[in-house]
Chains A and B, each alone.
Chain A
């Protein structure tokens, strides 16, 4: 009765870690809005627990993590583990910011589906999400 494909994809954009810059995250949030996504933005300095809890309450399809602080190797696996613990394995997790290539395999191992490097366009992020978001059975 409802056209499932017409339903906007829900994305949580979160900034874990202690750095105080969220211009990039805001630009991404706005860009994804313009691509037709429903974007929840939770602001700066989010702990992994806050990110997991927001993802759960908002029942998002995607969690996009923007991280510049260098603490990605501890924070990102904590978030994916938290999502797993609360039964959210069907949530697509992506990351962007400053993440060295060498760290990517380990993050992927931990459940981050995709790490976007600097210079990735919003269009590319949007297309990746549309192609990879997990469809849900009710």
Chain B
């Protein structure tokens, strides 16, 4: 089958074609690139919601609950669930789907697991491309789950239109969140597992902490420094469903309106993340072109032997790349 028909079939609701296409996009094949040319102009309508937080805080269960709520309103929902790849073997266990299997046979819920595959910066580009394919295939609400440890994972959640940080009420979770910089990227912080003791207190503490920051914000703005986001704090239980409709409503209030894409910050950031990810990939592909193997090996050796410094080496290789279409 041709790539054009794969893209067309995905757009027209063929889930098998959509799944195939996502593989092409994830593997960054020429077929995937070609399909994006058709589909990208159709995308840009969906609300991309990043969901991140400490391991086990309930992200997947929450995504499943929000999905259930949106399905009550008849809205199709797609999910991209990202788990880390082992840096040693390249393997991964993608386990988020376990919590979402209640939606497995609903044709209007499409769940896709992705391994992070350790490509720095490239993860954001691949994820956004996958979301664009889902968007063009008619999914208006797309959740992107990543674990809130690790720079590139947090980055992925942060480039969504709206970023939700899920916390459990257990002590220490907020410390982890602060360390990982999660509170800085959050539009909404959800204290999940509100069916357990301590949730109200955790939410109150978070709110207090975030208001203390408010005066510092004014000082920052006055001094012309960037101001961190001040997220809304909500309480919910993904298990009992308490607070879930309210959370979905809060998300919907933040959905980008048609036309707002031109100016809004999230869309521009996403465009930049995609392009720089692709640029890095293109440069690498050219660098590894067999035609340049000798020059590359020689330069690496020179740096290893401390004959030239790595900056000079990089400049030399960049100059060598030229403007051809190799790779």
Residues of A in contact with B (beta carbons under 8 Å apart)? 1-2, 7-8, 29-30, 32-43, 46-47, 49-50, 53-54, 56-59, 86-88, 138
Q: Which A-B residue pairs are the 5 nearest by beta carbons?
A: A43-B98, A33-B91, A59-B19, A50-B104, A138-B31
Quick one: closest B residue to A137, CB to CB?
Answer: B1
| Chain B stretch 89-136: residues in CB contact (< 8 A) with chain A | 89-95, 97-98, 101, 104-105, 110-113, 115, 117
CB within 8 Å for A29 and B105 given contacts A57-B19, A57-B111, A58-B19: no
The reply to whether A8 and B285 contact each other, CB–CB distance below 8 Å, is: no
| Chain B stretch 254-288: residues in CB contact (< 8 A) with chain A | 285
The reply to whether B24 and A138 contact each other, CB–CB distance below 8 Å, is: yes
The reply to whether A41 and B95 contact each other, CB–CB distance below 8 Å, is: yes
In the assembled complex, the Cα of A87 lies from the Cα of B14 at a distance in Å of 12
In the assembled complex, the Cα of A43 lies from the Cα of B105 at a distance in Å of 15
List the B side residues contacting A35 at CB < 8 Å: 89, 91
The reply to whether B105 and A38 contact each other, CB–CB distance below 8 Å, is: no
23 contacts between A and B (CB under 8 A): A1-B29, A1-B285, A2-B28, A8-B90, A8-B115, A8-B117, A33-B86, A33-B89, A34-B86, A38-B92, A38-B94, A38-B115, A39-B91, A41-B98, A42-B97, A50-B101, A54-B111, A56-B16, A57-B110, A57-B111, A58-B113, A138-B24, A138-B29
In the assembled complex, the Cα of A57 lies from the Cα of B15 at a distance in Å of 7
List the B side residues contacting A50 at CB < 8 Å: 101, 104-105
List the B side residues contacting A36 at CB < 8 Å: 89-91
Kindly state whether residue B327 has any CB partner on chain A within 8 Å.
Answer: yes
In the assembled complex, the Cα of A29 lies from the Cα of B117 at a distance in Å of 17
CB within 8 Å for A30 and B90 given contacts A49-B105, A56-B16, A59-B20: no
**8 Å CB contact of B91 from A8, A86, A87:** A8
Quick one: closest B residue to A44, CB to CB?
Answer: B98
List the B side residues contacting A39 at CB < 8 Å: 91-94
List the B side residues contacting A2 at CB < 8 Å: 27-29
The reply to whether B22 and A59 contact each other, CB–CB distance below 8 Å, is: yes
The reply to whether B101 and A38 contact each other, CB–CB distance below 8 Å, is: no
The reply to whether B104 and A54 contact each other, CB–CB distance below 8 Å, is: yes
In the assembled complex, the Cα of A56 lies from the Cα of B22 at a distance in Å of 11
Kindly state whether residue B176 has any CB partner on chain A within 8 Å.
Answer: no
List the B side residues contacting A138 at CB < 8 Å: 3, 24, 29, 31
Distance between B104 CB and nearest chain A CB, rounded to angstroms = 4
In the assembled complex, the Cα of A49 lies from the Cα of B22 at a distance in Å of 21
The reply to whether B15 and A56 contact each other, CB–CB distance below 8 Å, is: yes
Kindly state whether residue B149 has any CB partner on chain A within 8 Å.
Answer: no
Distance between B173 CB and nearest chain A CB, rounded to angstroms = 25
The reply to whether A30 and B89 contact each other, CB–CB distance below 8 Å, is: no
Kindly state whether residue B30 has any CB partner on chain A within 8 Å.
Answer: yes
| Chain B stretch 1-26: residues in CB contact (< 8 A) with chain A | 3, 15-16, 19-20, 22-24
CB within 8 Å for A40 and B101 given contacts A57-B19, A59-B23, A86-B16: no
